[in-house]
Chains A and B, each alone.
Chain A
Amino acid sequence: MNEMTRPLPAEITAPALEAVALTKRFGAFTALDSVSIKLRPGSVHALLGENGAGKSTLVKCVMGFYRPDDGAVLVNNHEVVIGDPRAAQTHGLGMVYQHFTLVPRMTVLENLVMARASVPAVIDWAAERAALAAFLATMPFRIDIDAPVAALAAGDKQKAEIVKQLYLKARILILDEPTSVLTPDEADETLGLIRAMALAGRLTVLIITHKFREVMAFADDVTVLRRGKLAGTGSVAAHTPDSLARLMIGESAIAAPAARDGAPTNEVRLAVAGLRADDESGMPALRGVDLQVHAREIVGVAGVSGNGQVELVQVLAGQRTATGGSLRVHGELYAADRADIRRHKVHCLPEEPLRNACVPGMSVAENMAFRCFDEAPLARGGWWLDLAAMRRAARDLIARYRVKTTGPEAPIATLSGGNVQRAVLARELSRDVDVLIAANPVFGLDFAAVADIHAQIVEARNRGTAVLLVSEDLDELLELSDRLVVMSRGVIVHETTPAAADLTVIGRCMAGH
């Protein structure tokens, strides 16, 4: 492993990667229609596109998860057949997924060593540990390699995923929205490092992203897909965010952010006092959170992931029991059971909606009925389900919120991420809402969906809803919040307004100083 610690000799350059006229069909549906993409050696190439544009399909064809129906993949101008992901690894291709792939119960060290293509039958862990530590010393990432992956925060897990590919000697790195769980500083740091490695000729990089800022700042070339077809490609220097946006969305309109309408009222809708709760492993995660949200106000909660935001949202959503403190809505103690939810109209947009707010195997119609299946008109006499009424209600919501699905009967797990979030949004926002808890509501969505969902949240606020918005995206918080608080180590450490916000101070608070 010692060769990893030395700078690589200058004569080794990263390979070029080219995909020529790739086509992939699923039944009658053409997910990828004769798309070509060319990655110059040592370049950072951004792949843009809305949800369902074919980005994932393209990458999975290159990585050997799918067999393309037509077209070829070339590494250094030689056609290669990549039948499975291990073949991709032998050709120097490595991929970092949006979803984590490390084994949670194993340590970072164990994960990395076991991921190697050839692992000796007997492993000298002390030597491996030293080698990995030396390797990590050349990286700006600080990861506790002896910690079980399950104990790492999302940001650290993502770093470990990237480090793993570098450790596996990937020369062509494909990153699927690598920064969606990172703080802005971490994102810049990570992308900066990857770009530096590309500039040094050590890596060829393809980044799937939704963030124009990252494309403009870190990519050399850009390719835009739309509905499975190539919409445009070229040098980033020749593009502006506006021109990229136009390529991405084509003719469809972007929902403009709703104008803020009126100031927050003095009525305290949601009052959190001295709230304490433990995390999954029984360690205290919330250590006395005090927070108030007024009617017609969006309070943004900023913080580095793993500082108690997840637990705060879970307690508010009724998914976790508090160990101390109180929750009040409309001045009354709030237990987050069905009666309280209904009486106080508290709704949620949790992160990873398919995991947190949906039953994947149930239909879109059933998932949309979670809030109202036990009341008229969906339930007759309070106990008999009117399935026809459920379908009608779902059709109405599908149309109003433009959910792309084959129909109300389709299992919700068959929808794309953006459409799952739209379906949840339809369920949670189509009714009267007094308090809305939103956690990373646009995580992993394309920017048209982001604008749309942001507009919906602001509209709800304008109607008088008290919104608590927990997000790892500071830009999102600064754009939407009336008031901004920073959470660190389970307490609120700072409060400001977007207008008065000092990014240095916020950054310092997020970092826990």
Chain B
Amino acid sequence: MDRIMNALAALLTALVVPGAALLASLALFGAFVALVGVNPLEVYELMYRGAFGSWFSWQNTLTRAAPLILTALCTALPAQLGLVIIGGEGALVLGGLAAAATGVALDGAPVALVMGAMGLAGMAAGAALIGGVGALRHRRGVNETISSLLLTYIAIAVMNHMVEGPLKDPASLNKPSTAPLAEAYQIGPLPGMDVHWGLVLGVLCAVAAWVLMSRTVFGFAARMVGGNPRAARMAGLPVGRLLIVTTALAGAAAGLAGMVEVAAVHGRANAALVAGYGSTGVLVAFLARQNPLAVIPVAILFGGIGASGGLLQRRLGLPDASVLVFQGIIFVVLLASEAMQGRVRLFAPAPILPAAAKEA
């Protein structure tokens, strides 16, 4: 019983800072739209309507949430080992490209086989990219944040090269793309709605990631490495292998997001894959405090923010990208609020400070 209460108190405490950051961001965004002469209250109301106000907007929101869950895992999983990976966009793009190429190459084969192969190809491409980041970090000491960011640009360039060159569909004149996937190989909607199966895939992956990290031997070892590499070495854990496997899993999640985007939304791979899901996923992971389960609601929230952009444009004449400003504000406020983390303790007694005190 005590444990449940403690867990509840910890949960509430954990919610305080991100929640406050979100409210502060809303206020700042309100000030921003007021500067361009729009009533902030009207913006808030429209954003709510565009994101969660109707069944239609809910479906739009959930469709956008699906890839966000997966790209957020690309940051949240390595975070358990203390790594900051921001290369989800690159893994998504490569995963989408690999999935599209596979789907086109296997045209004519049984549906289940092609779908499976596309998923595996997407995950393998993402895993290779982010796993490579992990390997560079372990073997060469290359900073994983920088390398994952820079590799994203390379991944996008590779995708552009392939869709404009070897994999280009001659029929795609204005927007170079791979050949379209046959109708049969596309991921359909969930029964009774327009949201595709990618959402289910994302939720399953998030739950699996949580189970992996909190309930398995692998996750325990990974958390040891993340918490204190010295202690992990003393326990004889294979630090390098844990690092590479976890980053590869993270990349696979983002690669799967690319496959879902190709197979459920675009039907082909082209520059439209670079839609910012990867970078928004970083934001989702941070706001979820790197907890794979918390990623799900936060991804839905951000899916909603993205979904509301269209409505703001149509009704208030604000540019579609205004919501990106909002996302940017959230990120900055969130990073600033990190300094508050641990100082807000509403439900627990103040801890006795460790003996190491700072000399003023």
| A-to-B contact residues, CB < 8 Å | 26-29, 31, 56-57, 60, 63, 65, 84-86, 89, 97-99, 101, 115, 176, 317-319, 336-342, 348, 350, 355-362, 366, 369-371, 373-374, 379, 382-385, 387, 409, 413-414, 417
Contact = CB atoms under 8 A, between A and B. Distances in A.
A359 B233 contact: no
16 contacts: A27-B349, A85-B359, A85-B360, A89-B360, A176-B355, A317-B234, A318-B233, A319-B234, A338-B235, A338-B238, A342-B236, A356-B234, A357-B234, A359-B224, A385-B217, A417-B355
Contacts of B6: 409
Contacts of A417: 355
Interface string B191-228: 00000000000000000000000011111110110011
Contacts of B234: 317-319, 348, 350, 356-357
Contacts of B220: 366, 369, 373-374, 385
For the complex of A and B, 6 pairs with smallest distance between CB atoms: A27-B349, A359-B227, A338-B236, A99-B356, A85-B360, A341-B236
B236 A385 contact: no
Given A98-B355, A362-B224, A26 B360 contact: no
Contacts of B224: 359, 362, 370
B84 interface: no
B356 A385 contact: no
B355 A97 contact: yes
A99 B356 CA distance: 6
Contacts of A374: 217, 220-221
Interface of B: 3, 6, 215-221, 223-224, 227-228, 230-231, 233-238, 349-360
Contact of B228 (A318, A360, A382): A360
A373 B218 CA distance: 10
Given A57-B352, A85-B359, A355-B228, 16 more contacts: A26-B351, A28-B349, A63-B357, A84-B360, A86-B360, A97-B356, A101-B357, A338-B236, A338-B237, A350-B234, A357-B234, A374-B221, A383-B216, A384-B215, A414-B351, A417-B355
A359 B223 contact: yes
Most buried by A among B217, B353, B358: B217
A99 B355 contact: yes
Contacts of B236: 318, 336-342
A99 B228 CA distance: 19
Nearest to A362: B227
Nearest to A168: B359
A414 B354 CA distance: 8
Contacts of B355: 56, 97-99, 176, 417
A413 B227 contact: no
Contacts of A356: 230-231, 234
Contact of A359 (B231, B352, B354): B231
A379 B350 contact: no
B289 to A, nearest CB: 13
Nearest to A115: B359
B230 A319 contact: yes
B3 A409 contact: yes
Contact of B358 (A101, A319, A382, A413): A101
B228 A27 contact: no
A383 B227 CA distance: 20
Contacts of B350: 26-27
Nearest to A63: B357
Given A341-B236, A356-B231, A101 B359 contact: yes
A385 B233 CA distance: 20
Nearest to A370: B235
Contacts of B353: 60, 65
A339 B238 CA distance: 10
B357 A382 contact: no
B231 A97 contact: no
Nearest to B229: A319
A373 B224 CA distance: 11
A99 B220 CA distance: 30
B348 to A, nearest CB: 9
A369 B217 CA distance: 11
A324 to B, nearest CB: 20
A86 B359 CA distance: 8
Contacts of A360: 227-228
Contacts of B227: 359-362
A465 B217 CA distance: 29
Given A358-B231, A359-B223, A26 B349 contact: yes
Given A65-B357, A340-B236, A414-B351, A387 B215 contact: yes
Contacts of A371: 235
Nearest to A317: B234
B234 to A, nearest CB: 5
Nearest to B6: A409
Nearest to B219: A385
Contacts of B357: 60, 63, 65, 85, 97, 101
A382 B220 CA distance: 12
Nearest to B227: A359
Nearest to A410: B6
Contacts of B221: 373-374
A437 B334 CA distance: 44
A210 B360 CA distance: 27
B233 to A, nearest CB: 4
Nearest to A427: B235
Contacts of A340: 236
A383 B219 CA distance: 9
Contacts of B360: 84-86, 89
B11 to A, nearest CB: 14
